Homo-oligomer: A and B are copies of this chain.
Amino acid sequence: MKRATIKDVAALAGVSAATVSRVLGDRPEISGETKEKVREACVRLGYVPNAAARGLTGRRTHIIGMVVPDVSNPYFSGMATAIERRAAQAGYRVLLSNSMRNEEQELRAIDHFLARQIDGLLVAAISPQSQAKHRALIGNLPCVYIGVNHSEACSCVMADNAAGACEAARYLLGLGHRDILFFGGRETSRTREIRHRGFQQALAEQGVEGRQITAPGNVGQLRQWSYENALELFRSGKVPDAIFAFSDITALKIMEAAEECGVRIPQDVSLLGYDNISFAALPRIDLTTVSQRKFRQGEIAVGRLLEQIHGRRERTVDLLQPELIVRSTCIKKR
């Protein structure tokens, strides 16, 4: 039950392999009649070109690689869907890898992808150190970073985290809160750093000082950490006016801890998230948050990558403006 090759098709159609190849490429130099015959032979044999052989002749493989920390995270799974769809439309397939926030795994994945002759790479790097190491491997392979970027030389598409955090913090200030706590995220996370900077800037404008609590870089389960530390916070009694959570997932964990401790949101403390994952919109949650437009990010990233693959080599940077989504977890300070 071996698969038909181009030679089989050629034999059946009574032409040469070269001709078949040209028909498949829909090149102009063959007669309509021959094309017909060849196409017919193709379907008769159920012929499917062998991608490996194609890749070998030095041309496109039509595969792009994508490495993210974890697709089961709604943020990345949303992006992944958008990416896969746009890529498929353009005739590209995507090879997936989860780095699980592990530098070695991230590098190994990229290495494997390179061996596969991928045409381009999309990566959500876990750290600046890690990204720096990619560069050596990648060479001048088309590549765009998604979500975060730590290099002046790389193309990227990301949300303007500083602006988003700034806008959100201003909103909190506008509601009269002054004791605002920035909660969560790994201290090594660049994204956290940027959001925190936007947050600080907004506070500084009003001359108020902010607090923060961050997770050590090496915590395995950030969710777990968030829950435990929120619990501790609420039990300590030093509950702030408002909490600016690093992410929606973090915010959800904070809610959970609050529930546990009898702290009411938003009556006792306002809570603001970041990401606008789908569950934030549920009535029972109804979390005020900032939308990163991950879907759009994915689409743009693929678009930019394809541009690069097709020859455009300048660096591109797309900064999407995040949007504050006001729901019910933040209210005016009494």
Bound-state Cα–Cα, A26 to B166, Å: 56
The yes or no answer to A56 lying at the interface (CB within 8 A) is: yes
A55 / chain B contacts, CB cutoff of 8 Å: 51-52, 55
The yes or no answer to A1 lying at the interface (CB within 8 A) is: yes
Q: Which residue of B lies closest to A139 (CB)?
A: B1
Query: Provided the pairs A97-B88, A283-B259, A284-B284 are in contact, do residues A117 and B74 lie with their beta carbons within 8 angstroms?
Result: no
The yes or no answer to A80 lying at the interface (CB within 8 A) is: yes
The yes or no answer to A49 lying at the interface (CB within 8 A) is: yes
B112 to A93, Cβ gap below 8 A? yes
Q: Which residue of B lies closest to A287 (CB)?
A: B284
In whole Å, how far is A114's beta carbon from the nearest beta carbon of chain B?
Answer: 6
Over the window 218-241 of chain A, the binary record of Cβ atoms lying under 8 Å from chain B Cβ atoms (1 yes, 0 no) is 000000000000000000000000
The yes or no answer to A194 lying at the interface (CB within 8 A) is: no
The yes or no answer to A154 lying at the interface (CB within 8 A) is: no
Bound-state Cα–Cα, A59 to B255, Å: 53
The yes or no answer to A127 lying at the interface (CB within 8 A) is: no
Query: Provided the pairs A51-B117, A95-B95, A283-B259 are in contact, do residues A88 and B109 lie with their beta carbons within 8 angstroms?
Result: yes
The yes or no answer to A19 lying at the interface (CB within 8 A) is: no
Over the window 85-120 of chain A, the binary record of Cβ atoms lying under 8 Å from chain B Cβ atoms (1 yes, 0 no) is 100100001111110100001000101111111000
B80 to A72, Cβ gap below 8 A? yes
In whole Å, how far is A171's beta carbon from the nearest beta carbon of chain B?
Answer: 22
A81 to B98, Cβ gap below 8 A? yes
In whole Å, how far is A296's beta carbon from the nearest beta carbon of chain B?
Answer: 14
A115 / chain B contacts, CB cutoff of 8 Å: 48-51
Q: Which of B71, B117, B139, B255 contacts A77 (CB 8 A)?
A: B71
A54 / chain B contacts, CB cutoff of 8 Å: 52
Over the window 12-49 of chain A, the binary record of Cβ atoms lying under 8 Å from chain B Cβ atoms (1 yes, 0 no) is 00000000000000000000000000000000000011
A113 / chain B contacts, CB cutoff of 8 Å: 93
In whole Å, how far is A58's beta carbon from the nearest beta carbon of chain B?
Answer: 9
B81 to A72, Cβ gap below 8 A? yes
| 8 A-B pairs with least C-beta separation | A52-B55, A77-B77, A72-B81, A259-B283, A284-B284, A96-B96, A51-B116, A48-B115
Extra 8 A-B pairs, beta carbons < 8 Å, given A72-B77, A85-B100, A259-B283: A1-B140, A63-B95, A72-B74, A72-B78, A77-B77, A88-B105, A95-B96, A256-B283
